[in-house]
Amino acid sequence: MSHSETIPATRYPGRRNLILGICFALVGFAMAFAQLTYFAVLKTPWYMPIFATVGTLCVLTALWQRRSIGRWIAFVLVAALTGFEWFAMLVMMATPVYAGPVEVGQPFPAFATMESDGSPFTQSHFKSDKNSILIFFRGRW
Amino acid sequence: MVELGQLEKHHAAFEKRNTQFFVASVDGLEDSKEVQKSFPHLQVVSDPNHKLVDAANVGHPNAGPHGENVAAPTTFILDRNGIVRWMFRPNYVTDRLSAQDLLSQYDRVFPTN
């Protein structure tokens, strides 16, 4: 006597894609945070929006496999995160193109400001028995 | 200020090359004093009136945490006569020269035989 078994259809198709998509979106962010704060590697973390884009595609696939309110919310959130990360990387983090007046081979322009102890600081400080490195940084924040 | 931390950590390599280091921002005196305490081997410059930033034209409009103008990350190497020998501006604020990168570039500008 033979019997046949019916393999039930998956109740939650695309669940793996949904979880994978959310993980991709979050892991890129976590890696960038670790890179900048823990490992102190000062390079733009392009992998962050790339991972988020992959995550968005995974969540979109999950949504296509089974529509639900939860998956729609997940898609909107992950897509918004992805969009924000690309905007931040390409627009917010971009520096202006340098247009002078400082030129290699020319004296540094005249200025008068102060050192952290309040004493004057001018271009004459660059004329000494030492070479100088001047670095502009964004600030204590 | 991760960049400043790296430079502070490698200050001996720059001192060996007889180099003076200036790090400038538009922070006021009080904030600059705090930065100076954290990085004692870097001479911190306070430029809240943007005199230096404007002279060098390194301002980054609306880039501060509250939309104020701040300095765009820029590096200059100058010789003992105050002549600019090299300059660097990254395309993105998240790209910075590591201390090793800066040392290598410095050695290219001022080779020692």
CA-nearest residue to A37 within chain B is B2
Does the pLDDT value for residue B68 go beyond 90?
Answer: no
The answer to whether B46 and B32 are in contact (CB under 8 A) is yes
Question: B11: closest CA among B46, B31, B39?
Answer: B39
**Residues 61 to 120 of A: which have CB under 8 A from any B CB?**
89, 93-118
Q: How confident is the model at residue A10 (pLDDT cuts 50, 70, 90)?
A: low
Residues of A in Cβ contact (< 8 Å) with B45: 113-116, 121
Q: What is the pLDDT of residue A13?
A: 84
Does the pLDDT value for residue A32 go beyond 50?
Answer: yes
Does pTM surpass 0.90? Answer: no
**DSSP H stretches of helix in A1-141:** 15-37, 47-65, 69-87
Q: Would you say how long chain B is, in residues? A: 113
As a whole number, the mean pLDDT across chain A is 90
Q: How confident is the model at residue A36 (pLDDT cuts 50, 70, 90)?
A: confident
3-state helix, strand, coil in chain B (%, to 5): 35, 25, 40
